[in-house]
Amino acid sequence: MATPVKVTVTGAAGQIGYALLFRIASGQLLGSNVPVKLSLLEIPQAVKAAEGTAMELDDCAFPLLSGIEITDDPNTAFAGANVALLVGAMPRKAGMERGDLLGANGGIFGPQGKAINEHAADDIKVLVVGNPANTNALIAQQNAPDVPADRFTAMTRLDHNRALSQLAAKLQVPVTEIKNMTIWGNHSATQYPDLYHAEVGGKIAAEQVESEWLRDTFIPTVAKRGAAIIEARGASSAASAANAAIDHVYDWVNGTDWTSAAVVSDGSYGVPEGLISSFPVRAAGGRFEIIQGLEIDAFSRDRIDASVRELTEERDAVASLGLI
């Protein structure tokens, strides 16, 4: 059997962790012929719960699962890691300001970035899921100066999948009919799901829906879907978030012509260099590449700029806290 790929999952005892680990162990993250070794990172109080999940993983007798390690030490968790899914984060509590949340998460993602820098394998790929995902990814990336910056990404694939599903329902087509969907910007309510480059049946999607629906229903439904799930479930999205994490890494490793991912900006489309912002990307040879040359109309420009402005403010806030 090939050497197992080490996959580190932080926040492994949380609800996304529970929806994610079994799918990784079954081969859905990397491929049905790739053996995996799981490393579960938790805070000390949650290690016992992670041990319980590991018992259940054992009980599945997954053919591809070659081992499970459980730890509260980031240096151990990331030692030799090939893929890191940074899910564990500090949830926003009542009365907490955005700055408090960014500060609390800096205390998590700074040390994790350093541990990745010092101990991860040379081919490490990092996906940040824990919110605020883009800026947490920036903190981790900035604390890992020896790792190529393009190995740090944040998740907007859930937003991308939500956009596919909403558009498919509107046009009464299977999701597989939709091509070139894009989420721009931040994984937040300012994100911009773009129908001006998406195509259905070879024609631009924006031309197949009413402009009022696009502006007043589609964009806010996708952008505020996370809050709507919290309202309905009494807890934030978990299985769909885990599913999106699987999609993101699978495509990163195995290649895709077009998806959405938050990657380090190279200045494309006027997004300041260094920000971790969502773009249309393709993947080949284990690398994401921003799709170039798209025309951006005034409507899209305003929305991309608004989301990027929010990312810039988040970056300035964590910089002023000394986190990057």
DSSP one-letter code for 2? P
Asked if residue 106 binds ligand NAD (CB under 6 A), the reply is no
By CB under 6 A, the residues from 210 to 229 that bind ligand LMR are 226, 229
Name the catalytic one among 119, 160, 187, 248: 187
Kindly report the number of other CB atoms within 10 A of residue 272's CB atom. 12
d(CA 149, CA 225): 30
Amino acid at 321: L
d(CA 177, CA 199): 8
Is 17 annotated to bind a ligand? Reply is: yes
Among the listed residues 36, 46, 183, 283, the single contact to ligand NAD using CB under 6 A: 46
Measured from the CB atom, is 108 or 253 closer to ligand NAD? 108
Catalytic residue at 119?
no
Asked if residue 66 binds ligand LMR (CB under 6 A), the reply is no
Measured from the CB atom, is 21 or 200 closer to ligand NAD? 21
- Max CA separation in the chain (angstroms): 55
By CB under 6 A, the residues from 145 to 164 that bind ligand LMR are 158
How far is residue 272 from each of residues 188, 304, 311, measured CA to CA in Å? Answer: 18, 12, 10
Residue 244 tokens read as: 């999106």
By CB under 6 A, the residues from 59 to 88 that bind ligand NAD are 87-88
Length of the chain: 324
Measured from the CB atom, is 185 or 200 closer to ligand LMR? 185
Measured from the CB atom, is 241 or 271 closer to ligand LMR? 241
How far is residue 205 from each of residues 71, 190, 209, 219, 226, measured CA to CA in Å? Answer: 47, 21, 7, 13, 23
Residue 127 interacting entry, from ligand NAD, ligand LMR, none, C-beta within 5 to 8 Å by type: none
Are 49 and 91 spatial neighbours (Cβ–Cβ below 8 Å)? no
Is 24 annotated to bind a ligand? Reply is: no
**Which residues in this chain contact ligand LMR in the complex, by CB under 6 A?**
131, 158, 226, 229, 236-237, 241
Catalytic residue ranges: 187
User: Annotated binding residues for NAD(+), as ranges?
Assistant: 11-17, 105, 112, 129-131
